[in-house]
Amino acid sequence: MAEIVKSPGRLNSQSDVSKLLRLGMAIVVLNIAGKAFAIDLSIQPQVRLGTRATDNVRWNAEDQESAFGFDNGGGIEIKAAHPYWNSTISPSFNLRRFVIGENLDADEYGVRSLHEWRFADRVSSNLKLDYVRDSTLTSELTDSGRSNIVANRDAFSVQPGMVLLVDEETSLNASFLYSDVAFDAGSDSGLVDYEFKQISAGANHIIDERLSIFLSGFASEFVVADIGSNTLTYGGQSGITFRYSSTFEADAAIGYVKSDIDFVSQQLALVSDPFPRVVVVALEQSVTTSGPIASVSLRKTFEKMRGKFDYVRRVSPSIRGSQTLEDDISATLERYLSRQWTLGFRGSYNMRAIESDEIDIAAGDLNRDQALVGASLAYQVTRNLVVRTEYRFARQLLSETDSPVYVNALFFSLGFNCEPHFFRGL
């Protein structure tokens, strides 16, 4: 999802980070203007140091490249509380450097924020405002396809929402999401800029202390201007939340989704103006696809262990220019060996395909099966200092090849969260 042309409104410079931070702080200031109440402010710095090693950094079936590097960064969490609102602003940065591996270094930074307002006893709203500049290497489970293309990307998103309490058992909610993603990569990378907009609304009703039901609907638009693709998606789902006991909860939902896809395909044509010749012409085409979506989540807590199982079937945008239909299964388990030691396991299986086989924009790049297993060990040195190591093994099979991709990766990190510093009654 020719040379990439960035839209004028995109954030693509370091000065944008400070601009977004000032914007978030301005929101806080504007909301206390005219109010006689004081605010409580807290600041909590964070530091992260880490290393990573892998035998197949680009997830290639052939010409595998090993890599060893460092992730060093940190951030600060700023919280402000008021009788009518509260805000959290979290600027962060990460400097990634590799001593083994070519063209993998990255300077990552961003600002994430969440603001919540309470207008009345039954009406509240919230606003998520984020800007992140990172590398596609940040996640080993990207949707890059045949090979993990390492490139920087700028992602900006804004998501306002509102909740209305009808009564003690029933609530209504609505939200809007706008996301803009751009890449620093050439046309041969296959990575494309895109815009994604989605509006959603839903309702929740509590039947009793154990059971509640919910209903939601949404409409979205996925636009990839560089390749002339536009996808309108409509859908809805309903489900239940069941709390069997204080240690076991479950969610389940089922729904339906439909997409109207407009795209441009290139074909050879014979023209004579005035001499006969074969040229490449761009044809506007459209296709409609539809199908079920679903989700299941199980959460269980034991005396010294907790586990979680999730399954979701969804349609979502990708960085290859097309929406994907995805089945994702994941399971996590954490075992508390002592007050300091925690052992973790996780596994996932992801089946992803292009939303419609009739589109050739990203055919073959998105159709794949991917399995991952991992184990981690964490040691709580102090209340603020945690040392953690993790091993991951992944196997990926693309539909267009018979050769699976194998990836081994080892991570080691040290995280230090300073004690929050409070400023009362400002």
pLDDT tens digits, one per residue of 316-369: 888 878 888 899 999 999 999 999 999 999 999 999 888 876 565 554 456 788
Q: Of how many residues is the chain composed?
A: 426
- Other C-beta atoms closer than 10 Å to the C-beta of 18 total 11
How much is the pLDDT for 229?
Answer: 86
pLDDT bucket at 33, cuts 50 / 70 / 90: very low
Coil, strand or helix at 161: strand
| Range in 43-52, 106-115, 279-288 with the lowest mean pLDDT | 279-288
How much is the pLDDT for 18?
Answer: 52
Yes or no: say if 343 and 349 are a contact pair by the CB < 8 Å rule.
no
| Range in 167-176, 243-252, 275-284 with the lowest mean pLDDT | 275-284
Count CA within 13 A, CB hemisphere, residue 47. Answer: 8
E strand or H helix at 21 = helix 15-32
* Distance (Å, whole) CA 280 – CA 216: 44
Mean pLDDT for 303-327 is 91
Yes or no: say if 332 and 310 are a contact pair by the CB < 8 Å rule.
no
Closest CA to 258 of 311, 223, 218, 214: 218
* Distance (Å, whole) CA 55 – CA 406: 9
Mean pLDDT for 85-95 is 96
* Distance (Å, whole) CA 318 – CA 325: 10
| 63 or 112: which leads in pLDDT | 112
Q: Mark residue 394 as left, alpha or beta (left: phi above 0; alpha: psi -120 to 50; beta: remaining).
A: beta
How much is the pLDDT for 12?
Answer: 47
Coil, strand or helix at 31: helix
How far CA 28 is from CA of 39, 66, 152, 399, in Å, comes to: 10, 46, 31, 50
Mean pLDDT for 5-20 is 45
Tell me the pLDDT tens digit for each residue of 388-406: 999 999 998 876 667 788 9
How much is the pLDDT for 225?
Answer: 87
Structure-token pair, residue 331: 């399971």
**Taking 60 as the threshold, does the pLDDT of residue 174 lie above it?**
yes
Strands, E assignment, 225-340:
229-245, 248-272, 276-301, 305-316, 324-336
Buried b (16+ CB within 10 A) or exposed e, 21-38: beebeebbeebbeeeeee
| 290 or 279: which leads in pLDDT | 290
Mean pLDDT for 187-198 is 84
pLDDT bucket at 14, cuts 50 / 70 / 90: very low
The DSSP 8-state label assigned to residue 252 in this structure reads E
| Range in 13-17, 69-73, 200-204, 420-424 with the lowest mean pLDDT | 13-17
* Distance (Å, whole) CA 213 – CA 240: 4
| Range in 19-23, 103-107, 287-291, 366-370 with the lowest mean pLDDT | 19-23
Whether a cis peptide bond, with omega within 30° of 0, leads into 404 is no
Q: Give me the chain's average pLDDT, please.
A: 85
In the block, residue with structure tokens 């419609």: 356
How much is the pLDDT for 235?
Answer: 96
* Distance (Å, whole) CA 135 – CA 150: 7
Mean pLDDT for 296-314 is 96
| 242 or 267: which leads in pLDDT | 242
* CA-CA-CA-CA dihedral for 303, 415, 56, 146, to nearest 10: 80
Tell me the pLDDT tens digit for each residue of 113-160: 999 999 888 999 999 999 999 988 876 555 555 567 788 889 999 999
Mean pLDDT for 250-279 is 81
How much is the pLDDT for 265?
Answer: 67
Structure-token pair, residue 14: 């370091």
How much is the pLDDT for 140?
Answer: 59
**Taking 60 as the threshold, does the pLDDT of residue 6 lie above it?**
no
Yes or no: say if 173 and 162 are a contact pair by the CB < 8 Å rule.
yes
**Taking 60 as the threshold, does the pLDDT of residue 407 lie above it?**
yes
